[in-house]
Structure 1
Amino acid sequence: MGLLDGKVVLVSGGTQGVGAGVALAAAREGADVVVTGRRREVGEALLPRLREHLAPGRSAEYVRADVADVASAQASVAAVVERFGRVDCLCNAAGLTSRGTLLGTTPELFDEHVAVNLRGPFFTMQAAVADMVRRGEPGTVVNVTSTSAHGGQPYLAPYVAAKAGLVGATRNAAHAHRADRVRVNALNIGWTDTEGEDATQRAFHGAGDDWRERAASALPMGRLGRVDEIADLVVLLLSDRSGVVTGSVVDWDQNVLGGLD
């Protein structure tokens, strides 16, 4: 459909999982795409897949960046501006989901979650929006957050705190820059089948090879969410097709907040 024809799209945390899905969808929709991540081998391995989906004349690049390091996160935006002259669209997709309860979370674990799930996205957004405002051109941001930001599970205390902060930052940025024609929205995603979730289930919950089937059997629609479904909605929100929508936080899940049986 060409929803992002000619746009320059930066996907922070875009080398795997939801971020990689967003990058692939953006490539299919006509964008130049830049993905960032800590592991160079993972980022460079994604590039051939991205380039298979690019429109003629478009390109895909990998920039090594650690979102937990503010200078690295900001430098990734500067690298995109140097390469393409601008950033039109930003998707903050990096995330850390290690476990911790209120009583069991150490200051170190709390700081790790804030660094990856809040501080890094905040300053990446700051750098991208600064470029949009400097040029006097419209732009879009989508922050990938979590339905757990509404309260979440007891073992996700630091994760919930950080993601809830990103939800607030999304609304604040949207309000502050609506007159600049910079639209900022967020997607609260529910339980999704990703490489990272597989590793998390095995590392923290002792899950076996059948964990997806077991999880699906307990869900209302009989399956986990899929990355490509999330990616399509992110691309819509990044595109002009989503109109004037800004400051919205969309719950992308099969459970209904407040719904009781």
Structure 2
Amino acid sequence: MFDDIKGKRALVTGACGVIGRWIAQTLHEAGATLALTDAKASELDALAASLDLRPDSFTKPADLTDEASIKALAGEIGQRWGAVDILVNNAGIYPSGFLLDTSTEEFDRIFSVNLRAPFILTREIATQMVRKGVKGSIINISSGASRKMRRTACVYSTSKTALDRLTKGFGVELAEYGIRSNALEPGFAAGSKVSGLTDAHIQSTISQIPLGRPSSREDVGNALLYLASDLSSYVTGATLTVDGGNSIGSLAVHQDKKSAL
């Protein structure tokens, strides 16, 4: 179904997180050549070894809060490949804290990783794509939090709302070059390191998801391959939500009551 992914060149940020690993593994299995980036070189090396990457694939650590580091990453892409076919802006942070307790520095850090970095990297990578005539796909990993404010995660939610608007902006401005820009909202991924949730909280969250389970690699992977492939050639500026209904409603209210059917 996704045969056109084979031979494509894809850059994935935040590759060592739960969802990042799912994305990297999915693209690798679909036949893509990968450039993987994350903050920690040792974890990148371990991920690359576990996937047995293709010869033209590579890893490069990057600090996404630093513009020079982001530009160096884009420069490596330009040197090795000229341009990518697929860019996945997956890296993100999800600190928890009330607004009244959030420092300006913490606010800036969240926006730096979740919004500023995708802007800079997309600008640099899309410029390469335009110069090389690549009609590619940009996929930003967003969240249902962009539409549903979460207590103690208001800054995160706001950053994802802004990322959705940036996704649409790039969709409008890159369309004439045949470059598509879309967002993907994965569901709750148990085991994510970014939030440090307790087992009790994880189980409580899963119990409230309408479809009754957390997200899987197949859920995220199939949606991502759709947005990366020619099957979505007429889709840009869109948000694909794959979260078991978590962002539209919760089973927490009146969950002791059953339908009369």
Give the structure-1-normalised TM-score. Answer: 0.88
Deviates more, 1:114-123 or 1:185-194: 185-194
Indicate whether 1:136 and 2:133 are aligned.
yes
What is the root-mean-square deviation in Å for CA atoms of aligned residues?
2.0
Give the aligned partner of residue 204 of structure 1: none
Kept in 1: contact 2:180–2:235 (CA 8 A): yes
User: Are 2:171 and 1:174 aligned?
Assistant: yes
Deviations 1:53-91 (A, max 9, x none): x5xxx5431111111112211221221221223211100
Identity %: 28
Partner in structure 1 of residue 196 of structure 2 = 200
The residue number in structure 1 matching 2:34 is: 33
> Paired residue for 1:70, among 62, 67, 70?
67
* 4+ long deviations beyond 6 Å: none
Letter in 2 for 1:200: G
In the other structure, the counterpart of 1:2 is 3
Do residues 49 (structure 1) and 39 (structure 2) align? Answer: no
Q: Secondary structure at the match of 1:41?
A: helix
Q: Distance in 2 between matches of 1:100 and 1:211?
A: 16
Aligned to 2:83: 86
Q: 1:248 aligns with which of 225, 233, 238?
A: 238
> Which blocks of at least 5 consecutive residues in structure 2 are unaligned?
254-261
SS in 2 for 1:215: helix
Cα gap change, 1:218/1:102 in structure 2, threshold over 3 Å: closer, same or farther? Answer: same
Q: Distance in 2 between matches of 1:219 and 1:256?
A: 5
Q: What code does the residue aligned with 1:249 have? A: T
Superposed CA deviations along residues 144-191 of structure 1, whole A, max 9, x for unmatched, are 011101132111111111111111100000001101100000012332
Equivalenced residues, count: 250
Does the 8 Å contact 1:189/1:253 carry over to 2?
yes
Deviation at 1:96, TM superposition (A): 0.3
Aligned equivalents of 1:211, 1:154: Cα separation in 2: 15
Q: CA deviation at 1:221?
A: 2.3
Answer with 8-17 or 78-87: which moved more.
Answer: 78-87
User: What is the TM-score when the length of structure 2 is the normalising length?
Assistant: 0.88
Q: Which runs of 5+ in 1 are unaligned?
A: 202-206
